[in-house]
């Protein structure tokens, strides 16, 4: 049986995340990111969490991609982490805001050069004629920025999800799972905690 031993969900997430980093074979920072368009039609994809603290959870994207357009139109999202080896899941939801240019630049510059070139070459989520067209765009970007100094594209940056709800799920025998939801009305408000039926 699992019982939270803190009233701060960020502390609990940090502990679960560190345990996942030790137990998961691949990408413990992988998460489903769900967004919705202006009509409320949802879409979801797997991204990698790049940072988190008590201000929120950070991921990066091309603002002109489907998720980027949807987050611009409807600045709310939901995340879901699933750590299969630990039989745990964490769900997070709340509003999103763009990270600062300084934060985005620092992360972009930490990426391998090939990934930075790829950010210039990819018109993410838009139709692509064929693979050679993509490789031609990579070659062009590589020629434009021939050394390590590859600037961040103006359409590429990060989002920070500030959670208003974080739910922790621990698998239980006979599907009698332990579920706890931390919730608050606004950022910086105190958290309330509820145990949920499985």
64-112 pLDDT, tens digit per residue, is 999 999 999 999 999 999 999 999 999 999 999 999 999 999 999 999 9
Question: In sequence order, which ranges of the chain are alpha helices (DSSP H)?
Answer: 9-23, 66-73, 101-110, 113-121, 131-144
Q: Tell me whether residue 2 is in a domain.
A: no
Cβ-proximal residues to 47 (8 Å cutoff; 6+ apart), any chain:
30, 31, 33, 59, 61
Residue 126: pLDDT over 90: no
Q: What b/e readout covers 118-141, taking b as 16+ CB neighbours within 10 angstroms?
A: bbbbbebeeeeeeeeeeeebbeeb
Q: Is residue 114 very low, low, confident or very high in pLDDT (cuts 50, 70, 90)?
A: very high
For residue 121, being part of any structural domain is answered with no
102 located within any domain: yes
- Picking from 62, 70, 72, 63, the residue whose alpha carbon sits closest to that of residue 39 is 70
In a domain, 54, yes or no: yes
Domain presence at residue 139: no
Query: CATH code at 42?
Result: 2.30.110.10
pLDDT the model gives residue 4: 84
Query: What positions carry a catalytic annotation?
Result: 175
Q: What pTM was estimated for this model as a whole? A: 0.93
Reported confidence tier of residue 18, pLDDT bands at 50, 70, 90: very high
Q: For the chain, how many structural domains are there in total?
A: 1
Mean pLDDT, rounded, for 34-39? 96
pLDDT score recorded for residue 5: 84
Q: Does residue 2 have a pLDDT over 90?
A: no
**Residue 6 reports pLDDT greater than 90:** no
Whether 39 shows a pLDDT value over 80: the answer reads yes
Cβ-based neighbour number of residue 146 at 10 Å: 8
Q: Is there a domain that residue 71 lies in? A: yes
By residue range, what is the domain housing residue 79?
Answer: 9-106+158-196
Closest C-alpha to 161, from 64, 31, 26: 31
Amino acid 1: pLDDT:
76
Cα-to-chain-centroid distance, residue 64: 17
Amino acid 3: pLDDT: 80
């Amino acid at each position: 049986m699992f019982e939270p031993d803190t009233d701060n969900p960020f502390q609990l997430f940090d502990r679960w995340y560190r345990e996942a980093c030790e137990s998961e074979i691949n990408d413990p920072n992988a998460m489903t990111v769900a967004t919705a368009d202006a009509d409320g039609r949802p879409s979801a994809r797997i991204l990698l969490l790049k940072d988190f603290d008590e201000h929120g959870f950070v991921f990066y994207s091309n603002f002109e991609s489907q998720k980027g357009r949807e987050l611009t139109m409807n600045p709310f999202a939901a995340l879901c982490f699933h750590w299969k080896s630990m039989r745990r899941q964490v769900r997070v939801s709340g509003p999103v805001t763009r990270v600062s240019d300084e934060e985005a630049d620092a992360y972009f510059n930490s990426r391998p050069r090939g990934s930075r070139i790829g950010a210039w070459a990819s018109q993410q989520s838009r139709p692509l004629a064929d693979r050679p067209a993509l490789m031609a765009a990579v070659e062009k970007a590589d020629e434009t920025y021939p050394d390590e100094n590859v600037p961040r594209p103006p359409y590429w940056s990060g989002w920070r999800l500030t959670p208003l709800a974080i739910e922790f799920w621990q698998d239980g025998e006979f599907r009698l799972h332990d579920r706890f939801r931390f919730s608050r009305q606004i950022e910086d408000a105190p958290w309330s905690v509820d145990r949920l039926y499985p």
